[in-house]
Structure 1
Amino acid sequence: MRRTTLRDIAESLGVSVNTVSRALADKDSVGVETRDRVKAEAERLGYVPNSTARSLVLGSATTLGMVMTNPSNPFYAQLISGMEQHCRKHGYSLLLMATEESLANERRAAEELLRRGVDGVLVVAVQEGADHWRRFRSAGVPVVLINRDLPELNTDLVGVDHVQGGYEAARHAIAQGARKIYFLEEDLGVSSVTDRVEGYRRAMADSGLRIEPDSMMKVPTRRLEQSAMPWDPREAYRLAREVLLSERRRPTAFVAGNDYFALGVYRVANEEGLRIPDDVLVIGYGGDPFAPYVIPSLTTVELPAAEIGLSAVEHMLRRLKRRPADGAPEKILFPPRLVARASSGGGA
């Protein structure tokens, strides 16, 4: 079915296209009676304004682009929901595109957003290149990074202090008496991952504990296979099983880079008759909704998704009120919060 145009309305009423355009825009140069007739006919014909064309006229799309690695990640799902509501409150639409950790997908998304003429872009970057984002900066379109840094872009970042998150998780395990602590983390070379690892290393160093060569366990991410799930516990299960069945290597605690990996450890423990937390402590990361409901309830590091989403949109709106290049780039990192539960012996 062909989309109704301004010309269709004009021909139906016997007026000019310019009159229809001015009437729909509530211009004073068009009489009230004519405006009412035009609007009634537009509604009857099912006319929907072409926002892209309108943006070319007004010089503003009133649309923000959101480029995300995987929106099924519960943290990002909460973040997107909060951002969309806040954008709507300020008269902006949020156009979401997913990359599934693919640089090619990210470049295509950037090209599409440039073509659509969005006002600004909020990005969870793949972190394998910045040239496509520099094009926005050159065009005067602000770019705000979320949760992952891209230092070569030299732009604003709003996210989580993942170094602190990794540190708090490991320190909690140590405080509960664990000394042989294995760290289950994604095999992606992104700043959120490397920062959590850095936090773990600092906690171990501050406590005078040695990091064994095999205790840093890299879990292959299912996201590289464009899975709908942000993570899959199966690989974490396989790696955890190898060390839990080894008398020599058996850890006293697992710190996982996300709560899904912690589920892999739970399954091994259940299959082998190991008790959590008596035989092994388990600490997750992310604060996923299921954490309080597994048995035993999962200790995890909660991330302030709503606050980050709100801050990112507010920061973008401030940038839009002035030239994006005005003022030095800002890095805003929110502190995560460790929630101790039964899996670490630290709560109910």
Structure 2
Amino acid sequence: MRETRRTTLKDIAESLGVSVNTVSRALADKDSVGLETRKRVKAEAERLGYVPNSTARSLVLGSASTLGMVITNPSNPFYAQLISGMEQHCRRHGYSLLLMATEESLANERRAAEELLRRGVDGVLVVAVQEGAEHWRRFRAAGVPLILINRDVPELNADLVGVDHVKGGYEAARHAVTQGARKIYFLEEDLGVSAIADRVEGYRRAMADSGLPVEPDTMIKVPTRRLEQSAMPWDPSEAYRLAREVVRTAQRPMAFVAGNDYFALGVYRVADEAGLRIPDDVLVVGYGGHPFAPYVIPSLTTVELPAADIAVSAVDRMLRRLGRQDAAGAPEQVLFPPRLVVRASSGGGGT
């Protein structure tokens, strides 16, 4: 069987009886090559199935027309939406998106950074693990723009595009208060990242504004399983286990404000097993606006995140950084407000 190989510029040149240099200039639409020759070269390139070598082309042009994206877990629905939105917006502007996943591992993140540097990407969009910054400083030293997504790394002094999680946490907790809950529990991941810290801050502000204390037992840290089960960003079973311990002694009506909609599913099961009614005995507010929220019974009140807005804004900001007019401007923070969607789980009506 004949071994297949990639069609080269030399193959096209030999087929047409012209030089490799002529083929290269014709495919690049250089005026130094006549229009008819350019047409012939392009037609032959298509016939032979020629695909440009983007790596070699980037060495010649000084640009890979590729942006790197480093993300913690692409199975997270919010990040999946980000990836899709960024890829579409990159494509509209002639860029490809090269995705790397870290699964909250610093070692994986360092390897991803090294790989993106080696490939010579034009810029990097990063959802950081937040346990180190030196590997990202290498991009700054190399003149490669870096934009942080959804999580801040203050020591980098870089652009940040993400969600106003303080506002999200505030609105979720404040809503539970206004619905009459006597005690409000906050279920949140135990990861030390800025998005989680901001949600906790929002919860604390809402409680303070409502004249309610934040008691030690109301702050419930849920162990993350992401390092063990990379395909699942959160495991409802841990929230279920912790919420089950709470409902035995808590005042009614109580509320659970969850840091993500998966944790809310764990609370739903606890309420069902304990014979508690949602929302009469237990109010539940989720976070993330995941696709299943309107379809569980009762439908889940949640905080929806503006993934599409973040995706477009981050890519646009990167394109400005790559352009001469804003290459060295001061770093900016762009935080989009989330939206509380009230449904039946907090007494908002519906099923």
- Identity between Structure 1 and Structure 2 (%): 86
Give the Å deviation of 1:179: 2.6
Question: Counterpart of 1:132?
Answer: 135
Q: Quick check: 1:314 aligned with 2:316?
A: yes
- Name the aligned partner's letter for residue 287 of structure 1: G
Q: Deviations over 1:73-102 (max 9, x none)?
A: 111111221211111111111111111111
1:76 & 1:185 partners in 2: Cα distance?
18
Question: Counterpart of 1:102?
Answer: 105
1:2 & 1:291 partners in 2: Cα distance?
50
Q: Quick check: 1:37 aligned with 2:31?
A: no
Following superposition of structure 1 onto structure 2, how do residues 4-15 of structure 1 map, counting pairs within 5 Å? Answer: 4-15=7-18
Q: Quick check: 1:200 aligned with 2:203?
A: yes
Q: Quick check: 1:159 aligned with 2:162?
A: yes
Question: Counterpart of 1:85?
Answer: 88
- Name the aligned partner's letter for residue 74 of structure 1: P
Q: Deviations over 1:98-156 (max 9, x none)?
A: 11111111111111111111111111111111111111111111111111001010000
Q: Does the aligned pair in 1 maintain the 2:253–2:281 contact within 8 Å?
A: no
Q: Does the aligned pair in 1 maintain the 2:150–2:161 contact within 8 Å?
A: yes
Question: Counterpart of 2:73?
Answer: 70
- Name the aligned partner's letter for residue 201 of structure 1: R
1:247 & 1:220 partners in 2: Cα distance?
22
Give the Å deviation of 1:2: 2.2
Aligned positions, number: 347
Question: Counterpart of 2:192?
Answer: 189
Question: Counterpart of 1:289?
Answer: 291
Deviating runs (4+, > 4 A) in structure 1?
248-251
State the SS of the aligned residue for 2:188: strand
Following superposition of structure 1 onto structure 2, how do residues 259-298 of structure 1 map, counting pairs within 5 Å? Answer: 259-298=261-300
2:116 & 2:250 partners in 1: Cα distance?
54
State the SS of the aligned residue for 1:183: strand
C-alpha root-mean-square deviation of aligned residues, in Å?
1.6
Q: Quick check: 1:303 aligned with 2:305?
A: yes
Q: Does the aligned pair in 2 maintain the 1:65–1:122 contact within 8 Å?
A: yes
Question: Counterpart of 1:254?
Answer: 256
| More off after superposition, 11-20 vs 265-274 | 11-20
Give the Å deviation of 1:220: 1.5
1:198 & 1:234 partners in 2: Cα distance?
25
2:245 & 2:35 partners in 1: Cα distance?
77
TM-score, scaled relative to structure 1: 0.95
Give the Å deviation of 1:32: 3.4
Q: Deviations over 1:138-194 (max 9, x none)?
A: 111111111100101000001111011111111111111113111111111000001
Q: Which runs of 5+ in 1 are unaligned?
A: none
2:105 & 2:48 partners in 1: Cα distance?
42
1:152 & 1:323 partners in 2: Cα distance?
25
Question: Counterpart of 1:57?
Answer: 60
State the SS of the aligned residue for 2:216: coil
Give the Å deviation of 1:248: 5.3
Q: Does the aligned pair in 2 maintain the 1:243–1:251 contact within 8 Å?
A: no
- Name the aligned partner's letter for residue 171 of structure 1: R
Give the Å deviation of 1:226: 4.3
Q: Which runs of 5+ in 2 are unaligned?
A: none
Following superposition of structure 1 onto structure 2, how do residues 223-238 of structure 1 map, counting pairs within 5 Å? Answer: 223-238=226-241
| More off after superposition, 79-88 vs 163-172 | 79-88
TM-score, scaled relative to structure 2: 0.94
Equivalent residue for 2:340, pick from 335, 338, 341:
338
1:106 & 1:227 partners in 2: Cα distance?
15
| More off after superposition, 209-218 vs 124-133 | 209-218
State the SS of the aligned residue for 1:223: coil
Q: Quick check: 1:216 aligned with 2:246?
A: no
State the SS of the aligned residue for 1:288: coil
